[in-house]
Structures are given as structure tokens and as C-alpha cells.
Structure 1
Amino acid sequence: MTAPTLTPKPAARLYPHTPGRNWRLDGNCLSTDVDMHPELRDQPGIAEAKAICAGCPVTDKCLTSAVKVGDWEGIRAGLTGPERRALAGTMADRACVDCGTTYTPRTKVQQRCSPCSHTHNHLRDRR
């Protein structure tokens, strides 16, 4: 399997989401040629698409949007349609313990929004 191709993003995408701006413009999936809708039996394709979502700054919004509109196709927020459907019944928005932002958790024990989780993990790994 070859590494996913990412096109460099404009500097504006490196900063936090600006209110009034479409959050989808900040997604990693907009700057890749990887198929984000692989067949469910295409495990290498699924892994490649999920790798694009890893570290994406808008995974929380992407997941919330996909669940709210019932989008069970393709890879969204690093999850397949069946994975999102299974998670949908357990999701309730909550406040991030670090910044207070409301987000949709990906697991029952998640306490931080994606940006705070990345920061927390990065700081923890540096110790």
C-alpha cells in the first residue's frame, strides 16, 4: 500500500476554525486523491481513507454532521458507515474538559475535543 497523497494546505487551514466559515474547507479529505468512499470489503482502501482522517482538525464536526444527517456511506471522521451507525446511539454532545467547547465524543470515555486531545497527547508524549 502506498502512502496517501496530501496536497499542501494554504496557511489559512493551519489555524483554528473561523466562525462563519464552512468547516468542511478545513478537512484533510479535500486535499487528497484518496477514495474516501471505498467498498466495505476493500480493507486496504478503508485503511488508506482512515489515515487521511487521522489528525484532521474537523473530525468532531464531521462526525456530528454525518450522524445528524444519517450519512452512513464512505469514511467520515475516520469511521466507516457501520461504525458511525453503531456509535450514533451512544453519542451525546458534551463539553471538553480543557477548553469547554461542545463536541460529539467518539467513545464513551472521551473527555476532550479533537484539538485538545491532540495537544494533550503531544504534551504527554514529550514527557
Structure 2
Amino acid sequence: MEDLIGVIAILCTIGLPIGFGMYLGLTSIRAEHKERMDLIRQGIIPPERMKKKANPNRMVSLRNGIVLISLGIGVIVGFLSSENLAIGQDNGFWIIGASIVFFLGLGYLCYFLVTQKIGDTQQKDTDQE
């Protein structure tokens, strides 16, 4: 009986959100289908669903790449400094957290500077035309 409590807890934690999401998705699909069928019964040709083409934004990808690289560098530097520096012997958690935040800040600053240079070069190109 004690093992049953853990199984029920896992099922409730994982199964209920998945089940609720499936219920909402099926309800949405069913409502859309019913709406299309009603339009067809009235003699109206329903418009085709337009699927948007994925137009990737390169600036978002650049930002995510710079931030993730800086996050990785921050974690590595934090672990190395907490193990090898005298200041990090008793304050490992704070050293790791501070280095992660520091390098994330540097990553965002780097992203800002890169996009500012890109914006300046695009502005010069439009001015020359």
C-alpha cells in the first residue's frame, strides 16, 4: 500500500497535465471541425487554413547562441574557481552563481554590441542607396 502512494503521486504529477492538454487539444480540433462542417452545410466553402511558413529570425538565434555559450562559460568558470581558488572553498554556491550571472551579463552585452554594429552597417547601406 505504501508503494501505491508514490505511483499515484507520479501519475498525478505527470499524467494529469498531459491528459488535460490532450483534452484541450482534442476539444479545439473538434470545435474547428464542427465549425467547418456547419459552414459546408450552409453552402459556404470554408477558407483553407493557411500554414505560416517558418521565417527564422537570425537575431534571436544569435542572441540565444551567445547567451548559451556565456552560460556554459560561467558554469565552467564557477566550478573551476570554487574548486581551485581559496575564496571559493567555503562559498562554492555563491561563486558559481556569481560567475554564471556575470558571464550571462557579458553575453547580453556582447549581443547588444554585435546587433548595434549590424544596425549601423544596415543604416549606412540604406543611406548610400
Where on the TM-score scale, by shorter chain, does this alignment land: which range? under 0.3
Which structure's CA Rg is the greater one? 2
Query: As a proportion of its length, which structure holds more helix?
Result: 2
